[in-house]
Amino acid sequence: MADPTTPRHDTADRDGNCHRTIGDVRDGSDVRAGSDVRDGSDVRDGSDVRDDLGLPVRLGPRPPRRVVSLVPSLTEAVAVTAPGLLVGATDWCSHPADLAVTRIGGTKNPDVPRVLALEPDLVLANDEENRRPDLEALRAAGVPVWVTDIRTLDDAFRSLDRLLTTACRLPRPAWLDEAEAAWARIAPGGTLREPGGPRTIVPVWRRPWMVLGRDTFAGDLLHRLGLRLVHADHPQRYPAIPLPELLACRPELVVLPDEPYRFTAEDGPEAFPGTPVALVSGRHLTWYGPSLVTAPAVLRQALDRHPPAGDGKDAP
């Protein structure tokens, strides 16, 4: 098993199974490069456009025909929107379930020569999920690389629209409209709980314990669902906090996703005796793509199943 203090997308869990992590959760460092570009022009003539990091991406005169995705969320977004456009994806790109493309390794250790052998005209990446040296190697080989940077739900909607319509030059998909509509029915700050919401901690790793901190996509979703994250103002995005300190926070609710660490009913809840624990779908909490259409309902159902301490409700 890999060093648990440096969780990666390719970290083997206690059963020897490998699964995705939320970027580099070791230190939560902010590794943005360049200006924050959100609305770039829709360029279809081969000119330079800029990705979410403000980095120029030289697109060809024709729409991309061979796309490689290094991010599970983006893989699903492209595959659902334009089946057949993808020619390569990571080993951890599990959706759509029938995805049949060449696998090019993990998000943190893609096989760059194998990617290049696929002759992609566009590679999709994420600033949190992928390593800069790998992306630089692809750029050095002449491959356009489009990097997304997503910290909030609004970021996700803007970024996905630009990636699909500007980078991939596809029509805006109906599922993106449906996702925006689904989340628009939930007021910012949430309607699920009382104003202010229950004090909540959200571990994303164990051995050591790591939790959602500031400025995270998953944290923004939970905030919109009415939860108040204890560590939302922590200096780090994914701080490592010893279990005694987590317990000392006296949380009213603990949310345990099944990725990046695979928390289960048998692994996780026992660490928080006397505190309600909600086991939630990591895909619906951490992925930005078609899963956002059903994420509000899926997450709400899981949270309602385990009302926070002191709210006076009995779980069904």
Q: Are residues 109 and 155 in the same domain?
A: yes
Specify if 17 maps to a domain.
no
Specify if 314 maps to a domain.
no
Specify if 130 maps to a domain.
yes
Parent domain of 85: 31-172
pLDDT tens digits along 246-298: 999 999 999 999 999 999 999 999 999 999 999 999 999 999 999 999 999 99
Q: Are residues 162 and 190 in the same domain?
A: no
Q: Which residues contact 44 (CB under 8 A, 6 or more apart)?
A: 63, 169
Residues of the chain whose pLDDT is less than 50? 1-21, 24-44, 190-194, 312-316
Q: Which two tokens stand for residue 223?
A: 């905030």
Last residue of a domain, one of 117, 140, 172: 172
Helices (DSSP H) in 36-82: which residue ranges?
72-81
Specify if 112 maps to a domain.
yes
Q: Which two tokens stand for residue 155?
A: 């970021």
CA pair distance 220, 154, nearest whole angstrom: 9
Last residue of a domain, one of 172, 199, 219: 172
Could you tell me which residues are beta bridge partners of residue 255? 278
Q: Are residues 99 and 232 in the same domain?
A: no
Number of domains making up the chain: 2
β-bridge pairing 228-229 and 199-201: parallel
pLDDT of residue 105: 97
Q: Are residues 63 and 135 in the same domain?
A: yes
Q: Are residues 69 and 188 in the same domain?
A: no
CA pair distance 260, 152, nearest whole angstrom: 18
Specify if 311 maps to a domain.
no
CATH number, residue 258? 3.40.50.1980
Specify if 9 maps to a domain.
no
How does 164-174 read in b/e, with b if 16+ C-beta sit within 10 Å?
A: bbbbbbbeebe
**Is residue 200 exposed (0-12), middle (13-18) or buried (19+ Cβ within 10 Å)?**
buried
Q: Which two tokens stand for residue 98?
A: 């029938």
Last residue of a domain, one of 172, 198, 218: 172
pLDDT of residue 239: 98
Q: Are residues 127 and 215 in the same domain?
A: no
Beta strand residue intervals within 90-198, DSSP E:
102-103, 122-126, 145-148
Q: Are residues 250 and 166 in the same domain?
A: no
pLDDT tens digits along 202-236: 999 999 999 999 999 999 999 999 999 999 999 99
Task: Please enumerate, as own/partner, the contacts of 173-178 that have beta carbons within 8 Å and a separation of 24 or more.
Answer: 173/80, 173/81, 175/80, 175/81, 175/290, 175/293, 178/293
Q: Which two tokens stand for residue 235?
A: 């200096």
Q: Which residues contact 181 (CB under 8 A, 6 or more apart)?
A: none
pLDDT of residue 48: 78
Q: Are residues 198 and 281 in the same domain?
A: yes
Specify if 168 maps to a domain.
yes
Specify if 193 maps to a domain.
yes
pLDDT of residue 125: 98
Q: Are residues 204 and 299 in the same domain?
A: yes
Single out the residue of 117, 116, 110, 118 nearest to residue 134, CA to CA.
110
CA pair distance 307, 252, nearest whole angstrom: 9
Q: Are residues 136 and 205 in the same domain?
A: no
Residues 29, 23: contact at Cβ < 8 Å?
A: no
Q: Are residues 200 and 69 in the same domain?
A: no
Q: Are residues 38 and 168 in the same domain?
A: yes
Residue 277: its H or E element: strand 277-280
